[in-house]
Amino acid sequence: MTTPTFDLTPFLGRDEGQHFDRKSMFEGEEGKKRPRDRRKVRDQVAEQVAGFANAEGGVLILGIEDDHRITGHQFPPDALAALLDVPRARLHPPQPRGFVLQHEGHSLIVFDVPNCDVPVRVEGDGFPLRIGDKTMQVSESHIQKLKFRGLVESWESRPSHLRLADLDPGLLERGRRGAGLIALTDEEYLVKRKLADHRGRDLVLRQAAELLFAKNGPDHPNAGFRLFRVVGTERKVGAEHNVEERPRFEGNLPTVIEACFSAIEGILRRPARLVGHRFRTVSEYPEFSWKEAIVNAAAHRDYNAEGRTTEIWFFDDRLEVVSPGGLLPDVNLEELLALHRIHVSRNPRTVRVLVDLGIVRDQGEGIPRMFAEMEGFFLPAPVLDPRDHLFRVTLRNTATLTADDKSFVARLGDAELTDVEFRALLEAHRAGRLDNARLRAISGLDTLGASALLRRLRDRELLALHAAGPNSFYELGPKAQLPSDAQGLEADRPEPTSDRPGSGPDRPELTADRPESDADRPELPPDLAAAVKALGTRPRQGPLRDVIASLCGWRPLKPAELGSILGIRADNLTKRHLTEMVAEGRLRRLFPDEPTHPNQAYAAASDNDEKSPP
């Protein structure tokens, strides 16, 4: 029940993501742990393995805790054998059996799952699909579309004229090591990642292998990057020409990306910016954000467009990354701006190997974290601009700190805080409250890490807990409050109120749905007021959206106004309801081409009256 070809090392400290998941084999309180129910574990294995197989493949390891501790399992031999056989016994078509590896005196159960060329069904339980660090149910036709586009008709799947000897053995070893497959030969690794196929005695490479590993770069005229520096904020021509083009970056994709990173680090300015609660000399753009924009452009561009290359433009006030190829049919701008975790890849083979090489993070969190990093540096949100044949990401470097923010920073004085602790306190200051869900969104922490940080700030009296079970939240504690002679600065800040929790699938984070302020609540006609009241404190998605449509049919309403009426935070209302209702055709935006317009409001789609923005 062991295999010598798999190395656990790269996975022991890795966070869960698109291609990796870990699960504990125990449950219960600390100190009172007991083995998990065997049937539930088998069900979970079936779902996770099928989800990986329906996406890009992945690794599932049982016996690791959320905090990365190795605890192994205590299944008897017969139960263990049944568990290892789940991918063959419960999935159609069958997938590879699991195996057991020993580490630090514990037995870990491993499922190394390849991506499958056809949809994989769990017997009696549909078609799971791995998206980011979650596995969800989708239709067979949806998976079939992903498989056909990414694994059959894509540029990267085409045969290459190169041979194994034309590839870089050092990069191949790096990929094998990062995948835990160092014991495989280069040929075995390429076949396992579907970068090559055996045809008789010959090994036929695919274009993805050429793009990733060719010693002299791929046989593609524009697979690299072009880098431009603009003096000023606009490009000029003629006598006022102000554009400098740096040498092109060409070669295999890992070499191109890493050379580009090095060149950009030499261009970036380092102004004094607020980091944590002190001003420090830092890069003008957060490192994760600009690197993510570049890696995404390389990994997801349309390589069929051989007449264009990926371009990076540095202006005095912004950075633009432009790549060939618009959004894929299964992705829309609404979902991206709502910061939903989306994993639909034009080049799935390439993406998987970039993870093996350590160039792409394996968390499915790129765009959401990019937004969070820019916000954490007090910079404007990234601008995503998809066109028919290109995709542009713009990062701006003008800080968004307000006078009120600066006053709060000064009030903290010399308090010893980590950057994340300060970010939590500033969010509590700005919004009047902070809960675990919001802290995770702005910090990248997981649930346990966010809880621990909130408790630390509570123990230091920098935050105060308002305990309400699943709806608990924190506000600024006595050591972070304004002094009595400065209360006027906060006169307009509403007192935190308890959440209006929801129920059902449209309310995944119950503690985040609270309005920002009562100041935006308009006076309602009696019938609408009665409809809102009839929703109660736990409205279901259907009735709630019916009332939203009626409210927006009365007059166009901003998210803040709707949030105050319904008792739901405006940002969560937009992400969970308004965006989807626009996509469904039930609502329309007053500024349809600018979803983030500061005066954006929503009207019922059937409302034909031309109304001016409020």
Question: Tens digits of per-residue pLDDT, 244-258?
Answer: 999 999 999 999 999
In order of 7, 230, 297, 301, the CA distances from 311 in angstroms are: 38, 13, 9, 11
Residue 275: φ, ψ to 5°? -130, 120
Q: Domain range for residue 19? A: 9-152
Q: Do the beta carbons of residue 56 and residue 351 sit within 8 Å?
A: yes
Distance CA 397, CA 267 (A): 14
Helix, strand, coil percentages, rounded to 5, for the chain: 40, 20, 45
DSSP letters for 315-327 = -SSEEEEEEES--
Let me know if residue 17 belongs to a domain. yes
Let me know if residue 531 belongs to a domain. yes
- What pLDDT score does 362 carry? 63
Let me know if residue 220 belongs to a domain. no
Distance CA 78, CA 80 (A): 5
pLDDT tens track for 531-549: 888 887 778 888 899 899 9
One domain for residues 447 and 540: no
One domain for residues 290 and 308: yes
pLDDT tens track for 149-192: 665 567 898 999 999 999 999 999 999 999 999 999 999 999 99
Let me know if residue 368 belongs to a domain. yes
One domain for residues 525 and 410: no
One domain for residues 236 and 384: yes
One domain for residues 415 and 285: no
One domain for residues 134 and 274: no
- What pLDDT score does 614 carry? 42
- CATH number, domain containing residue 125: 3.30.950.30
DSSP letter at 229 equals E
Let me know if residue 485 belongs to a domain. yes
Name which residue leads in pLDDT, 526 or 512: 526
Distance CA 81, CA 445 (A): 36
- What pLDDT score does 491 carry? 37
How far does CA 558 lie from the centroid of its chain? 27
Residue that is last in its domain, among 332, 362, 396: 396
Name which residue leads in pLDDT, 237 or 94: 94
pTM: 0.64
From 562, 611, 560, 563, select the one nearest 590 (Cα to Cα): 611
Name which residue leads in pLDDT, 563 or 606: 563
One domain for residues 132 and 144: yes
Name which residue leads in pLDDT, 320 or 599: 320
Let me know if residue 1 belongs to a domain. no
From 452, 398, 464, select the one nearest 425 (Cα to Cα): 464
Domain count, the chain: 5
In order of 216, 550, 560, the CA distances from 578 in angstroms are: 50, 13, 12
In order of 28, 249, 268, 415, 605, the CA distances from 31 in angstroms are: 8, 55, 50, 35, 56
Let me know if residue 530 belongs to a domain. yes
One domain for residues 392 and 259: yes
- What pLDDT score does 486 carry? 40
- Tell whether the model's pLDDT for residue 490 goes beyond 60: no
- Tell whether the model's pLDDT for residue 357 goes beyond 90: yes
How many other CB atoms sit within 10 Å of the CB of residue 454?
23
Distance CA 161, CA 166 (A): 10
Element (H, E) at 383: strand 383-386
Distance CA 267, CA 284 (A): 10
One domain for residues 386 and 415: no
One domain for residues 419 and 441: yes
> Which residues fall within 8 angstroms of residue 267, CB to CB, at 6 or more apart?
229, 314
- What pLDDT score does 73 carry? 95
Match 């540029």 to its residue by tokens: 155
Q: pLDDT band at 272, cuts 50/70/90?
A: low
Let me know if residue 218 belongs to a domain. no
β-bridge partners, 392: 322, 385
pLDDT tens track for 447-462: 888 899 999 999 999 9
One domain for residues 596 and 505: yes
One domain for residues 78 and 146: yes
Residue that is last in its domain, among 152, 179, 204: 152
Q: Do the beta carbons of residue 312 and residue 374 sit within 8 Å?
A: no
Calculate mean pLDDT across residues 49-64: 94
Q: pLDDT band at 554, cuts 50/70/90?
A: confident
From 61, 28, 68, 65, select the one nearest 45 (Cα to Cα): 61
Q: Do the beta carbons of residue 90 and residue 46 sit within 8 Å?
A: yes
Q: What's the number of CA atoms in the CB half-sphere (13 Å) around residue 66?
A: 8
- Tell whether the model's pLDDT for residue 511 goes beyond 60: no
- Tell whether the model's pLDDT for residue 32 goes beyond 80: yes
Residue that is last in its domain, among 152, 172, 192: 152
pLDDT tens track for 578-606: 988 888 889 988 878 777 777 788 888 86
- CATH number, domain containing residue 468: 1.10.10.10
**Mean pLDDT, rounded, of the chain:** 83
Distance CA 236, CA 128 (A): 51
Q: Do the beta carbons of residue 308 and residue 222 sit within 8 Å?
A: yes
- CATH number, domain containing residue 298: 3.30.565.60
β-bridge partners, 229: 244, 314
Calculate mean pLDDT across residues 284-300: 91
| Total number of residues shown for the chain | 614
Q: Do the beta carbons of residue 252 and residue 168 sit within 8 Å?
A: yes
- What pLDDT score does 520 carry? 45
Distance CA 399, CA 396 (A): 9
Q: Do the beta carbons of residue 68 and residue 12 sit within 8 Å?
A: yes
- Tell whether the model's pLDDT for residue 443 goes beyond 80: no
